[in-house]
Amino acid sequence: MPDKKIHIFDTTLRDGEQVPGCKLNTSEKLELALKLEELGVDIIEAGFPISSPGDFHSVEEISKIIKNSTVCGLSRAVQKDIEAAAAALKYAKRPRIHTGIGTSDYHIKSKFNSTREEILQRAVQSVKWAKNFVDDVEFYAEDAGRTDNEYLAKVIEAVIAVGATVVNIPDTTGYCLPYQYGDKIAYLINNVKNIDKAIISCHCHNDLGLATANTIAGVIAGARQIECTINGLGERAGNTSMEECVMVIKQHKHLGFYTDIKTEMLNPVSRLVSDIMRMPVQPNKAIVGSNAFSHSSGIHQDGFLKDSLTYEIINPEEVGAGESKIVLTARSGRSALAHRFRKIGYEFTRNDIDVLYERFLKLADTKKEVVENDLHEMAKTYKPIEEIA
C-alpha cells in the first residue's frame, strides 16, 4: 500500500518572504524557522542563498540550528547558484538543494530565448551539479502548470534518471483548474517510467483562488509533498496556504492521508507570521482569520448553540483558535443575546429576554457590534416587569 504521509514543505521564508514589505532579517527568520520545526514541518525552504549576502547568511544560520526538519535552499539551474546553495547549507543535518528551470514555452521562448532540447539539457545538468554536494535534490519545472504534458514528462524522467529525489510541478501562475492540475500529476505518474524513484511535489499559486483546491487535487492524484506558506503568503495572490491543506487532509479522513503538523499550533504560528511580517490576515481567512469561528446571524447562532456541529466543521481548539465566538449584531437572535448575558453572569427569564431583545435591536441598529460593555449597561438599567408592577 503506498505511503499516505503528506510531506509538508514550508516556503514562508522564501516564496512568502518575496512579498513586498514582508522582508525578514536573520534573527526574525531564525525565530520563525524554529517555530516551523516545532509545528512539524518536514522541509523548511530557508531562502535563496545566491540572491543576497543577507539571505545566504540566514540560510547558513538556520542550517545550524534546525535539528529535525530538512533545510532547503533555492537556486536557478545555474552553477554558481547551486554552489552558493550548497555552501549555505553546509551545516544542515538534512540539506536539500532545490534547483530548476522554466519548462513552459512561454519561459523557454520569452525568458530564455531557447529551445525545449536545450532546456532539457540544462535541467539535467543542474541536478548533476547539485548531486555533487547533497543527496537530496529537488527539481522544479517552473510554470509546469502551462507546460505541455508530454514535454514535462520527458524533463521529469530525465532529472530523476540523474538523481532528483523530489520533482516539483509548480503552477507558477495559478492558471490550472483543479481537474487539470490533478490530471497533470496523474499523467506524470502514468507516463514517467522512473516516477517511483521520486516524490512528486505540488507548488501552487493562488491567482485564481484555486491554490488549495489544486494542491489537494494533486495529492489525490498521487503527489506526496505540498509546498505551502503560513497564511497563504507569497508572490502576487500568494501560495497555497498550509493551514487550509493540513485541515482539508485532517477533515477528510476517508482520503487516508495524514501530515505531521501539530494543528493546535496553526493559529499561534499564523499570528507570529502576521506580526513578524507586519502583514494582517484577512478576517474571513479559513482556519486562521478572526472570523473563522465567529457566528453572527440569528439562524446560525441558534443552531450553533443547540449543537456546534450544525454550523462548524472544525473545533476551534483543534487549530489553536480558542473558543468559537457569538458576535452580537442587528442580525442576532434572542438565544444569542441570552447566551452572551449568561457568559458574563446574568441569568434572565424568557420574558426578560423578550424585553431586553427589543432594546438590544434598537442599539444594534446604531452600531456594527454590540459589545460586553453594552450588555453590562443594559443589564444594570433593566428592571424586570414584576418589579415595576
> Interface with ligand KIV by CB under 6 A: which residues?
15, 140, 142, 168, 170, 172, 203, 205
d(CA 232, CA 205): 9
Does position 15 interact with Zn ion (CB under 5 A)? The reply is: yes
Cell numbers that stand for 150 in this block: 508530454
With respect to ligand KIV, which residue has the nearer C-beta, 99 or 263? 99
**Contact in structure between 206 and 245 (CB atoms under 8 Å):** no
Partner interacting with residue 61 (select from ligand KIV, Zn ion, none; CB below 5-8 Å by kind): none
Partner interacting with residue 206 (select from ligand KIV, Zn ion, none; CB below 5-8 Å by kind): none
With respect to ligand KIV, which residue has the nearer C-beta, 168 or 231? 168
Residue 272, phi-psi category: left (phi > 0), alpha (psi -120 to 50), beta (remainder):
alpha
With respect to ligand KIV, which residue has the nearer C-beta, 184 or 205? 205
Site for Zn ion (CB under 5 A): how many residues?
A: 1
Name the residue among 84, 45, 92, 89 with its Cα closest to residue 67: 92
In one-letter notation, the amino acid at residue 78 is: V
Tell me the sheet residues that pair with 140: 100, 168
Q: 313 CB contacts (<8 Å, ≥6 apart)?
A: 251
With respect to ligand KIV, which residue has the nearer C-beta, 47 or 170? 170
Partner interacting with residue 142 (select from ligand KIV, Zn ion, none; CB below 5-8 Å by kind): ligand KIV
**Contact in structure between 7 and 226 (CB atoms under 8 Å):** yes
Name the residue among 158, 157, 210, 220 with its Cα closest to residue 185: 220
d(CA 349, CA 331): 21
* Residue 180: CB minimum distance to ligand KIV, A: 16
Residue 360: phi and psi, rounded to 5, are -60, -45
Q: Which residue lies nearest Zn ion, judged by its C-beta?
A: 15
* Residue 370: CB minimum distance to ligand KIV, A: 45
d(CA 47, CA 65): 15
With respect to ligand KIV, which residue has the nearer C-beta, 138 or 244? 138
Partner interacting with residue 304 (select from Zn ion, ligand KIV, none; CB below 5-8 Å by kind): none
* Residue 130: CB minimum distance to Zn ion, A: 19
- The number of beta carbons lying within 10 Å of the beta carbon of residue 253 is 9
With respect to Zn ion, which residue has the nearer C-beta, 15 or 157? 15
* Residue 239: CB minimum distance to Zn ion, A: 6
**Helix or strand run (H / E) with residue 86:** helix 79-88
- The number of beta carbons lying within 10 Å of the beta carbon of residue 238 is 22
With respect to ligand KIV, which residue has the nearer C-beta, 18 or 297? 18
Sign for the CA dihedral angle at 88, 92, 98, 99 comes to positive
* Residue 71: CB minimum distance to ligand KIV, A: 16
* Residue 172: CB minimum distance to ligand KIV, A: 4
With respect to Zn ion, which residue has the nearer C-beta, 74 or 164? 74
* Residue 137: CB minimum distance to Zn ion, A: 18
Tell me the sheet residues that pair with 370: 328
Residue range at the interface with Zn ion (CB under 5 A); choices 9-17, 206-214, 283-291, 338-346: 9-17
With respect to ligand KIV, which residue has the nearer C-beta, 94 or 205? 205
**Contact in structure between 287 and 319 (CB atoms under 8 Å):** yes
* Residue 234: CB minimum distance to Zn ion, A: 6
Q: What is the DSSP letter of 143?
A: T
* Residue 237: CB minimum distance to ligand KIV, A: 12
CA of 139: how far to CAs of 152, 219, 242, in Å?
A: 12, 18, 21
**Contact in structure between 259 and 8 (CB atoms under 8 Å):** yes
**Binding footprint of Zn ion on the chain (CB under 5 A):** 15
